[in-house]
Structure 1
Amino acid sequence: MVEGARRTAHFRLVILDGRVYVERYRKSLQTRDEFTLWGILQLVRWYPGKLPDLELMFDCDDRPVIPANRFRRPNSNPPALFRYCSDDWGLDIVFPDWSFWGWAETNIKPWRNASRDIKEGNKKIKWTDRVPYAYWRGNPNVHKKRQDLLRCNVSDHHDWNARLYSQDWKKQARDGYKESNLEDQCTHRYKIYIEGWAWSVSQKYILACDSMTLLVKPVYHEFFTRGMLPFVHYWPIRDDQKCKSLKFAVEWGNNHTSEAQAIGEAGSEYIHEDLKMENVYDYMFHLLNEYAKLLRFKPEIPPNTTELCPEVMACQTGGIWRNLMEESLEKSPKEGAPCTLPPPYDALGLQGFLDKKANLTRQVEMWEHKYWTGFPK
């Protein structure tokens, strides 16, 4: 099953006796592979000597590639493949994305510092004093759903309560990223999250802003999003009638400011508290431990591997890449053991949670339907 994942993997990772080895197969987009490997090295530094021997395949591309419906027969052996997101029909194993240790190509700091800066940025403008519209800034060219979102921008004919801006990352790089500081983008009461080609790393930065997140119905999930609830941590937006859905969300929020502010703050607290780097490392630790328990072979160092160590990785890079690695370097182990892994949901408990999410989304859609038609749905 591990070998079966090699077809799309960017690298094979082996941890043996606390040392980390990598066999590379192909280069990833940008520096995703490098900072993912860097993040795993930081986990080893965070919990030295506590990780089991293991061997895994990692795919740094966006969309999941292991559909469950191809592996319904007994002993069909789906490939064991790690990546950054999955969907309701996928068996890909979801792992934190590279940007937790920095995203050099967009000048975004490691998450520990980026979240701190956003938290400080939240204090600049009180929620009630923020611009009472929905805000989005991003690259619309990665998928047609984002291009469709731009139709909701203010124009001479319509005002859907949205203020949308295209981001040209090449121009930002030339201009020194003056318009892309995350901590300066918490200026509106509402912020829009919409997927691109797959999930988007922007989700945690948007949710961190204290603004009520207007979350366009997603297809994909990353490792932390499935525990969030609509009308508690975010406001659900329909993907088939985005403009009407956005206009109603903003109208509702501006007429229910206390509730809208509470939703924004609950989503922000979820991100700043539950998604602290200490918890990210604990997720990684437990994920790799549970995965290693399933191995039915002893991991070995394959040919063509390179042993990884942080000093060599950082020294082989330069400029912002090296700066981000130095900034996200874990300088000392964590004091104490990882958190205790809670028991999994039983079937009834999981279904109850999923029903709650669906019912809360349905309630918002009923309000929206009545707003536009005057009749209950």
Structure 2
Amino acid sequence: MAQRKSTKGNNRDTQTNTHSNHASIKTSSHQGKRIAKATLLLVLSIFVSAGLLSFLCCFDYTTLTGPRQVTTTITKPPIITLHRFPRQCGVVQNQTQPVSEDGTNKNKPRSNHSRPPTCPSYFRWIYEDLRPWRETGVTREILEKARSKAHFRVIILDGRVYVKKYRRPIETRDTFTLWGIVQLLQWYPGRLPDLELLFDADDRPTVRSIDYRGQQHPGPPPVFRYCSNDASLDIVFPDWSFWGWAELNIKPWAKSLVAIEEGNKMTQWEDRVPYAYWRGNPNVARTRKDLLRCNVSDQEDWNTRLYINDWATEFKEGFKNSNLENQCTHRYKIYIEGWAWSVSEKYIMACDSMTLNVRPTYYDFLIRGMVPLQHYWPIRDLGKCRSLKHAVHWGNTHVDQARKIGEEGSRYIREEVSMEYVYDYMFHLMNEYAKLLKFKPEIPLGAKEITTDSMGCPAKGRWRDFMAESMVMSPSEVSPCEMPLPYSPMELREVLERKANLTRQVEVWEDQYYQAKTIGRNGSGYVLKYLQMKYVYDYMFHILQSYGKLMKMNVEVPEGAKEVCPETMACPVKGGRMRQYMDDSLILSPSNKGSCETPPPFEDDELKKFLEKKKSVEKEVEKWTNEYWEEQNKSLQH
């Protein structure tokens, strides 16, 4: 019993201890849950606050992690970024996306699975633009020589973009150029290698090839810019307006292209005004001021209709007269450079009108893929008025061919210069450039990382709208197009010679046109001068007089002959055209002057030479005619 009691006591103690332990565990559990809940609420509060601040675009992560020190020796491990769309700060949420009939976003670069695997032919010029550094590469020393020419430096490291600005460019060119580069990395995330480049956002090229010829000269500085020319080594890059030109209310290229396509449908080609149209600012270049001489006037009609665009007035009136989609109303549109190349080029060519391309001095990245008589009609810079008049005359007398040139040029712009290919060009250019670097790219002191949020969130007005409209919403579903092989020296020479020959052919046609007009004027002048009635009567007088001298008989009036005079001929005629013509041609009084003197007769040899010359010229004209039609048919077939 005692043992049982003891056992029971032990059991009770055990139970008591067990209850005590349960109570202790339960109490600890409640306290732990309260602590966990408090901790969870605290963490959630921090993240919600951070999210709210990030939403307002003013969250600075260095407040948690401390200031990040940037030095020239920083290298970063690869970062895998999960792209979340839409963005947090409302750039996307607040925009209205135009949607096509099939429900897709028209502004998003399209992933066209059926596009050709090889890039358009103008991509081959990337190799030519980078050729000066093919053997030596780009060293840090060579790159830094471009520093004095640059507006900003771009560094891409581990898929992130950094920029260091040196001076302010015109308007906000740098902003939208950098925005385009950021969107490129959104379109092809993680695909670009590390690189470092310097960009000059002014118009005219600055790296003259003549300054870097010969072994004694160092390699030229690699300067990226929007255009170059045959005497320069600047590397051409798509201009800022592909993402919008906010100052002039020119929308991003994808949206502008849709609007111009709609404008094209408003007026059929054959119903368009049969003259050459241009609207722009003539004060930026002498060649544009010279163009205004070609406008229609009381003295001359050069088949042009030219208009001055006053951007200050346009700004005040809300750009109501400068909508690109409303300018596809003429059969022919003139492209002419400004201070350098002109942004207007792609908008002009998108109109289906035959582009009359005044001989350019500069080229951008896309123009080198175009061919005369296939994509545009070349116009002389010197003597542009005569050249424009002939081009319009040719188009109006060869309507089908002119329309075909216009449509082919427009197709080239729409299909081969779509935003998808613009990004592909940027990708391949920067990728090929990165292969030339002989140093490891670094983030310099003062450089800042730029992202879609850091650029889009602070933007206001049209700047913000255009960024929203041109923002890449998701990565591309396909890889970049494949680069074609570089030109061989012979291929490049053939391409350039073909373009030059086609341009010369147009100039020959123009010369022949004006030669024909000269012949016509000369013929008309001959008739007006030498077929006056005075000379008709003089000719009659001299031939009858010369004939009379040959008479070897006495002149007699035969039986039945009647004398005639104005009265006996005109009086019996009663009204009508016959009487009117007799009255109009009646000589009322004798001439006060004698007849002209008869020139001496042809010598036998002189007459022979004269007849041979006429026959030779006739054969030459026949040859020109045959060659004209052969060349024209051959050119249009290409």
Separation in 1 of the partners of 2:187 and 2:181? 10
CA RMSD of aligned residues (A): 1.0
- 2:184 is aligned to 43
Instruction: Give aligned pairs, total.
Output: 377
Asked if residue 298 in structure 1 is aligned to residue 450 in structure 2, the reply is: no
Q: What is the identity, as a one-letter code, of the residue corresponding to 1:71? A: Y
Match of 2:293 among 139, 144, 151: 151
Match of 1:132 among 274, 297, 311: 274
Aligned pairs (5 A) from 1:152-167: 152-167=294-309
- 1:14 is aligned to 155
Separation in 2 of the partners of 1:372 and 1:337? 52
Give % identity: 62
Match of 1:2 among 125, 136, 143: 143
Q: What displacement does 1:373 show?
A: 1.6
- 1:113 is aligned to 255
1:70 counterpart SS class: helix
In the TM superposition, what whole-angstrom CA distance separates every residue of 1:35-92 from its partner, at most 9, and x where no partner exists? 0000000000000000100000000000000011111123611001000000011110
Aligned pairs (5 A) from 1:196-215: 196-215=338-357
Asked if residue 365 in structure 1 is aligned to residue 507 in structure 2, the reply is: yes
The ranges of structure 1 where at least 4 consecutive aligned residues each deviate by more than 2 angstroms after the TM superposition are 374-377
Separation in 2 of the partners of 1:100 and 1:263? 24
In the TM superposition, what whole-angstrom CA distance separates every residue of 1:181-227 from its partner, at most 9, and x where no partner exists? 00110000000000010000000000000000000000000001011
TM-score (structure 2 length as normaliser):
0.59
In the TM superposition, what whole-angstrom CA distance separates every residue of 1:327-355 from its partner, at most 9, and x where no partner exists? 00001000121111110110111111111
Runs of 5+ consecutive residues of structure 2 not aligned to the other structure: 1-141, 520-620, 625-638
Separation in 2 of the partners of 1:131 and 1:32? 35
Separation in 2 of the partners of 1:193 and 1:85? 16
Separation in 2 of the partners of 1:116 and 1:332? 20
Asked if residue 340 in structure 1 is aligned to residue 474 in structure 2, the reply is: no
- 1:31 is aligned to 172
2:220 counterpart SS class: coil
Q: What is the identity, as a one-letter code, of the residue corresponding to 1:271? A: I
Runs of 5+ consecutive residues of structure 1 not aligned to the other structure: none
Q: What is the identity, as a one-letter code, of the residue corresponding to 2:238? A: P
Q: What is the identity, as a one-letter code, of the residue corresponding to 2:407? A: E
Separation in 2 of the partners of 1:109 and 1:19? 27
Q: What is the identity, as a one-letter code, of the residue corresponding to 2:459? A: T
In the TM superposition, what whole-angstrom CA distance separates every residue of 1:124-160 from its partner, at most 9, and x where no partner exists? 1000000000000000000110000000001111100
Asked if residue 279 in structure 1 is aligned to residue 396 in structure 2, the reply is: no
Separation in 2 of the partners of 1:313 and 1:244? 49
Q: What is the identity, as a one-letter code, of the residue corresponding to 2:332? A: Y
- 2:375 is aligned to 233
Match of 2:462 among 309, 320, 323: 320
Q: What displacement does 1:315 show?
A: 1.3
Separation in 2 of the partners of 1:285 and 1:319? 29
Which structure is larger by alpha-carbon Rg, 1 or 2? 2
Q: Which has the higher contact order (CA 8 A, sep 6+)?
A: 1
- 1:68 is aligned to 209
Match of 2:412 among 270, 287, 312: 270
1:342 counterpart SS class: coil
Q: What is the identity, as a one-letter code, of the residue corresponding to 2:289? A: Q
1:128 counterpart SS class: helix
- 1:354 is aligned to 496
Separation in 2 of the partners of 1:113 and 1:299? 35
Q: What is the identity, as a one-letter code, of the residue corresponding to 2:388? A: L
Q: What is the identity, as a one-letter code, of the residue corresponding to 2:177? A: T
TM-score (structure 1 length as normaliser):
0.99
Separation in 2 of the partners of 1:229 and 1:309? 39
Separation in 1 of the partners of 2:454 and 2:220? 35
Q: What is the identity, as a one-letter code, of the residue corresponding to 1:43? A: L
Asked if residue 220 in structure 1 is aligned to residue 362 in structure 2, the reply is: yes
Asked if residue 177 in structure 1 is aligned to residue 319 in structure 2, the reply is: yes
